[in-house]
Structure 1
Amino acid sequence: MKKVLIIMSLVVMLVSCKSNSPVGTKLDMKTEVALKGNWSISSVTYPGSEYIKVTSFNIEDSQCFVGSEWSFISNNNKGEMRLTKAACSGYNSPITWYINKDGKLVMKFLEGVKAKKMDIGYVLTVTNVTENSFQLIDNINVGGKNTNVVYQFIRNN
Structure 2
Amino acid sequence: MKKIILLFTLVILAVSCKTPAPAASTTVDRRSQVAIKGNWTIVSVTYPGSDMFKVKSFDIADAKCFEGSTWKFVSNNDTGEMALTQAGCPAFSSPIKWYVNKDSQFVLKFLGEGVKAKKQQVGYILRIDDQTMESFKLIDNINIGGKLTNVVYQFRKTN
Question: Is this a same-fold pair by TM over 0.5?
Answer: yes
Which residue number corresponds to residue 124 of structure 1? 126
Specify the code of the residue in structure 1 equivalent to 2:33: E
5 Å-filtered alignment, 1:135-150, equals 135-150=137-152
Q: Report the identity percentage.
A: 57
Which residue number corresponds to residue 43 of structure 1? 44
Which residue number corresponds to residue 13 of structure 1? none
TM-score (normalised: structure 2): 0.84
How far apart in 1 are the matches of 2:83 and 2:112? Answer: 12
How far apart in 1 are the matches of 2:58 and 2:82? Answer: 12
User: Alpha carbon RMSD of aligned pairs, Å?
Assistant: 0.9
Number of aligned residue pairs: give it: 137
Bigger RCO (CA 8 Å, 6+ sep):
2
How far apart in 2 are the matches of 1:54 and 1:22? Answer: 23
Q: Which runs of 5+ in 2 are unaligned?
A: 1-21
Which residue number corresponds to residue 67 of structure 2? 66
Specify the code of the residue in structure 1 equivalent to 2:80: G
SS in 2 for 1:39: strand
**Aligned-pair CA distance for 1:22:** 5.1
- Detail structure 1 runs of 4+ shifted over 4 Å in the superposition: none
SS in 2 for 1:116: helix
Note the alpha carbon deviations across 1:48-85, whole angstroms, 9 max, x for none: 00110000000000000000000000000000010000
Note the alpha carbon deviations across 1:63-117, whole angstroms, 9 max, x for none: 0000000000000000001000010111000000011000001110002111111
5 Å-filtered alignment, 1:91-110, equals 91-110=92-111
Specify the code of the residue in structure 2 equivalent to 1:47: P
5 Å-filtered alignment, 1:72-83, equals 72-83=73-84
How far apart in 1 are the matches of 2:109 and 2:132? Answer: 24
1:34 aligns with 2:35: yes
